[in-house]
Amino acid sequence: MKTTIIIPTYNEQENIIALIDALQAQFDRMSHDMGILVVDDNSPDGTADRVRAVQGRYSNVWLITGEKEGLGAAYLRGMRYCMDELGSEVVFEMDADFSHRPEDVPRLMHEVDEGADFVIGSRYVRGGSIPTEWGLVRRLNSLYGNVVARYVAGIYRVRDCTAGFRAIRVPLLRDIDFDALRVKGYAFQVALLHEAVIKGAKVVEIPVDFVDRAAGESKLGIRDIIEFILNAWWIRLRTFRTFIKFALVGLSGVVVNLGSFTLLLALGMNKYLASPVAIELSIIWNFLLNNYWTFRWRRTKDRARIKGLKFNIVSLLALGVSYSVFVMFSQIFPDLPPQWGQLVGILPAMLVNYMLNTYWTFRDTEPEPS
């Protein structure tokens, strides 16, 4: 597979050549078509010139330069270049400062080979680590960043949401609307991960040891931290709006169900036939509204069909539940208006619908805790 390691750089002239050499040594051991794309933001220290100098030595090293807008903006430019110009099938994110060990590249790649869409070199799964020399403030900072990402943005299942060492399949990237990410700095890592999760990507974390930078300076700024927190709340708000829409659609489905049931009865249809017809009508109504309104921003080209299929299976199951409750209710209370049985049947069906759609159809979308 054509694989490109994207390395954003800002004043990394002390590190970049040594890193490129170390990566090439790893590539020699790998069976994939490996390359490196350096995205330099016109570093004043001449990082780009150093890269140009080795391009004669390596035919698999590319360089793009641009204005400094932030880490996320650099990655977006790099990813676009990989998709449009290089034809990459897998891209890596990696820091230039040796915080991510080149020896771990084959390990991440192995997980892609095994079927993962999004592999994270994780500091916070068993076996992973942060530098022992980190002081309390640095540790708390990192911890806090992950807490915000996991519990505010809602990416509960991922341990290291802020990691910058990752391998991502390009078809997944093509599914993501980059313009909707709205972030320029380090918040990009969380924003992209969240998009991947809601697209149903197979996310895998493998342990890595994060090494402190030996040369050069850190670029994390206050602007990044503010954007990071705002981004997490933005994601939460969007998730919450989706939940509200889902509930509204469900409510309107009840109206459609009972309304069409009453209408069909008035037209003289037998109640045992009118009931499943009304249920089916409301299922179609719910599906269309959820698909084209509630989850519109989640819809993907090739996975939509699978989701649609799952949604239909779930709906059929819900129809079975709803209808059997209706039949039971009608047998036990033959004198009550049949609308009561229809309404009582909706409740367990809604539960089945909600549970299965949350944990199966849209299995990677995390439920709201509140």
Ligand X SMILES: Nc1nc2c(ncn2[C@@H]2O[C@H](COP(=O)(O)OP(=O)(O)OP(=O)(O)O)[C@@H](O)[C@H]2O)c(=O)[nH]1
For residue 41, the minimal CB distance to ligand X (Å) is 4
For residue 246, the minimal CB distance to ligand X (Å) is 37
- Cβ closest to ligand X, residue 199 vs residue 219: 219
- Chain centroid to Cα 176, Å, comes to 9
Per partner kind, with CB cut-offs from 5 to 8 A, the member of ligand X, Mg ion, none near residue 70 is: ligand X
- Cβ closest to ligand X, residue 74 vs residue 232: 74
Distance CA 207, CA 276 (A): 51
Query: Which residue in the shown chain puts its C-beta closest to ligand X?
Result: 218
Residue 322's nearest CA partner among 300, 349, 340 is 349
Per partner kind, with CB cut-offs from 5 to 8 A, the member of ligand X, Mg ion, none near residue 187 is: none
- Cβ closest to Mg ion, residue 80 vs residue 223: 223
Phi-psi region at 209: left, alpha or beta (left = phi > 0; alpha = psi -120 to 50)? beta
- Cβ closest to ligand X, residue 51 vs residue 256: 51
- Chain centroid to Cα 188, Å, comes to 12
- Cβ closest to ligand X, residue 99 vs residue 257: 99
Q: Does residue 260 belong to the site contacting Mg ion (CB under 5 A)?
A: no
- Cβ closest to Mg ion, residue 140 vs residue 328: 140
Per partner kind, with CB cut-offs from 5 to 8 A, the member of ligand X, Mg ion, none near residue 39 is: ligand X
Task: Give residue 230's identity as a one-letter amino acid code.
Answer: L
For residue 325, the minimal CB distance to ligand X (Å) is 55
Residue that is written with structure tokens 């890592």 in the block: 189
Could you tell me the two tokens for 53? Answer: 């100098």
Q: Does residue 12 belong to the site contacting Mg ion (CB under 5 A)?
A: no
- Cβ closest to ligand X, residue 13 vs residue 361: 13
Angle of helix 16-27 relative to helix 47-55, nearest 10 degrees, comes to 40
Per partner kind, with CB cut-offs from 5 to 8 A, the member of ligand X, Mg ion, none near residue 74 is: ligand X
For residue 189, the minimal CB distance to ligand X (Å) is 10
Among 12, 40, 93, 95, binds Mg ion (CB under 5 A): 95
For residue 261, the minimal CB distance to ligand X (Å) is 59
Distance CA 48, CA 169 (A): 27
- Cβ closest to ligand X, residue 130 vs residue 317: 130
Q: Does residue 99 belong to the site contacting Mg ion (CB under 5 A)?
A: yes
Extended beta strands in the chain, E state: 2-9, 33-40, 61-65, 90-93, 118-122, 166-169, 203-207
- Cβ closest to ligand X, residue 37 vs residue 170: 37
Residue 160's nearest CA partner among 202, 195, 189 is 189
For residue 39, the minimal CB distance to ligand X (Å) is 5
Distance CA 353, CA 140 (A): 40
Interface stretch with Mg ion, choices 181-189, 211-219, 236-244, 251-259 (CB under 5 A): 211-219
Distance CA 307, CA 369 (A): 23
Longest CA–CA span in the chain (Å) reads 89
For residue 44, the minimal CB distance to ligand X (Å) is 12
Coil, strand, or helix at residue 336? Answer: coil
* Exposure on the CB side of residue 315, measured as CA atoms within 13 A: 21
Q: Does residue 213 belong to the site contacting Mg ion (CB under 5 A)?
A: yes
Strand partners, 6: 37, 93
Coil, strand, or helix at residue 34? Answer: strand
For residue 41, the minimal CB distance to Mg ion (Å) is 15
Per partner kind, with CB cut-offs from 5 to 8 A, the member of Mg ion, ligand X, none near residue 51 is: none
- What residue ranges bind ligand X (CB under 6 A)? 8-10, 12, 39-41, 68, 70-71, 74, 95-97, 99, 164, 213, 218-220
Could you tell me the two tokens for 100? Answer: 């991510």
Note whether 211 and 131 are within 8 A (CB): yes
Coil, strand, or helix at residue 168? Answer: strand
Kindly report the backbone phi and psi dihedral angles of residue 88, in degrees, each rounded to the nearest multiple of 5, phi listed first: -70, 150
Q: Does residue 97 belong to the site contacting Mg ion (CB under 5 A)?
A: yes
For residue 224, the minimal CB distance to ligand X (Å) is 8
Which residue ranges make up the site for Mg ion (CB under 5 A)?
95, 97, 99, 213
